[in-house]
A and B are shown apart, each in its own frame.
Chain A
Amino acid sequence: MDLQPIYLSLQLAALATGLLLLLGVPLAYLLTQTRSWIRPFFEAIINLPLVLPPTVLGFYFLVAFGNGTALGRWLQEVVGLQLLFSFQGLVLASVLYSLPFMVNPVYAALRALPDSLKEAAYVLGYSKWKTFRKVLLPNIRPALLTGSVFAFAHVLGEFGLVLMIGGNLPGETRLASIAIYDQVEVLNYAGANQYAMVLLGLSLGILLLAFTVNRKAPRVL
């Protein structure tokens, strides 16, 4: 079995999860600070990937970032960013695609924290930023872990989107899920099975680890 697609999938999942922590967590916090009438719009947009078929998302990526649009040409010629058929494109797509998996648990955890926690910090002279770092974040650790694990596992399992915009390039965009599809396409079920077992084992292991760690985590209040 060629291990490169598995290695590539793990690399993509790790990078996307890291970026999601950097982007998704502040986004979840901003969402708690948003006025209540406008919040549903943001929630709906962030959660779109949950209901949209990945191929639809992939199709829009293909159209938006291709040579056919001003945006695509500008990205390629001015910024020098090749988003289609490239690893960096998959990273960006994975971040957008897995955004709800990070934002939702973190947002729910932040909302579940009592307001008095934040208020006590303010009265103690903590700025909003310091309150976020020193008081809110440490108390939503289980949600950070849950979000990271689900985002990671979701990226590992990503298929339709990658099929559309990846281009199946070995060492660049041929991920484990695509390798499975390839093997099934040529009726090589034994080969597909090998990749699938590795992917299944990895995903199961990661989820198991997360649930075990969270079981031990102290409940907040």
Chain B
Amino acid sequence: MMQLHFQKRLAAAQGAMELEIQFELQTGQCLALFGPTGSGKTSILRMIAGLMQPDGGHLSWKGETWWGNAPKTNRPPQARDCGMVFQNYALFPHLTVQQNIAAGQGPTSDPKAVDELLQLMDLSQLAHQKPGQLSGGQQQRTALARALAQKASLLLLDEPLAAQDQATRQQLQQQLRQWLKETQTTTILVSHDSQEVKALADRVLILEQGRVTADGLPAEIFPTASQSHGEYQVMALQHTHGGWVATLKSATQSLQWTTAQRPNWQIGDIIQLNTAS
């Protein structure tokens, strides 16, 4: 189980922001952090991995403290049993796809496992190419394969499928979900795609301005169109790099509504959602 409580002052484009987040996560679960750009999602992953220091709080994984203030504890990233897919992939440019994946395995190399991952990510043809020769989507799949090769008990995924086209993404979501369940890997996923959250996550936290504004099952937070039919009040409206995210609230539930174009609503408006939208 993970117990996490972070406080961190972040410098954002709109000025400083106070991040404060606290949750517990069961082993084997996949938790999604969902929210607009600048809400602090990536910073949380970096603090879990040990690449960034929180100002206060506590982090423990499977009963071992990774970060704490009293007594002062800070495990270096190398000593934290976690893998990570970076938003910019961070592949090693001098190594081939195959070597990059093998680099995830640590001192004991297992060529067979590398081959399986190459196949799983549809990279077998590209095994001997270098990252510079690949498309963004191929690089991202290599980064995912490298992180999976690590077989860490905790996996941190920062927009792991954002560069894939629609068809590949849906296929990879299925395969990834299956892989995570088979290996009982605990996962924290950063995403701003509600469809992806529903496909991969067991639980979702909505993050806004460094605070959790909702915590629940993806199906509750992102109801399908038929369930979301009804009258809502617009609570918040934010621009993200993927489009616009509106927080809507009815008498019985609240939900995030994502659209590509700016909706012609104002905060406070009462709107009607119907199954067609």
Contacts and interface: CB of A to CB of B under 8 A. Distances in A.
A–B touching in complex (CB under 8 Å): yes
Interface of A: 114, 116-117, 119-127, 135, 138-139, 141, 218-221
Nearest to A119: B51
Would you call the interface of chain B mostly helix, strand, loop, or mixed?
loop
Nearest to B86: A116
A59 to B, nearest CB: 45
Contacts of B106: 124-125
Given A116-B88, A218-B130, A123 B83 contact: yes
A218 B93 contact: yes
A102 B104 CA distance: 32
Q: Which of A121, A124, A220 has the most CB of B within 10 A?
A: A124
Interface string B49-84: 111000000000000000000000000111010111
B258 interface: no
B53 to A, nearest CB: 13
Given A122-B51, A138-B94, A218-B130, A114 B103 contact: no
Contact of B92 (A125, A127, A135, A218): A135
A170 B146 CA distance: 59
A121 B51 CA distance: 11
Contacts of B80: 123
Contacts of B76: 122
Given A122-B50, A123-B49, A124-B146, 11 more contacts: A114-B90, A116-B86, A120-B86, A122-B76, A122-B78, A123-B83, A124-B150, A139-B93, A218-B93, A218-B130, A221-B93
B8 to A, nearest CB: 17
Nearest to A137: B94
Contacts of A126: 78
B111 interface: no
B83 A139 contact: no
A124 B103 contact: yes
Contact of B90 (A119, A125, A127, A218): A119
Q: Which of A116, A127, A138 has the most CB of B within 10 A?
A: A116
Given A218-B130, A218-B132, A122 B77 contact: yes
Given A116-B86, A138-B94, A124 B132 contact: no
Interface residues of B, number: 24
Interface string B134-171: 00000000000010001000000000000000000000
A126 B103 CA distance: 9
Contact of A123 (B51, B92, B130, B132): B51
B132 A125 contact: no
A127 B130 contact: no
Interface of B: 49-51, 76-78, 80, 82-84, 86, 88, 90-94, 103-104, 106, 130, 132, 146, 150
A144 B150 CA distance: 31
B220 to A, nearest CB: 32
Given A122-B51, A125-B106, A114 B88 contact: yes
B88 A127 contact: no
A188 B18 CA distance: 77
Contacts of A220: 93
Contacts of B132: 218-219, 221
Contacts of A119: 49, 51, 77, 86, 90
5 nearest A-B residue pairs (beta carbon)? A120-B90, A116-B90, A122-B77, A138-B94, A123-B84
B57 to A, nearest CB: 20
B138 to A, nearest CB: 15
A215 to B, nearest CB: 16
Nearest to A221: B93
A120 B101 CA distance: 12
Contacts of B49: 119, 123
Nearest to B103: A124
B104 A124 contact: yes
A61 B85 CA distance: 53
A127 B79 CA distance: 10
Contact of B78 (A116, A127, A219): A127
A221 B103 CA distance: 19
Contacts of B88: 114, 116
A117 B90 contact: yes
Nearest to B133: A218
A119 B90 CA distance: 8
Contacts of A138: 92, 94
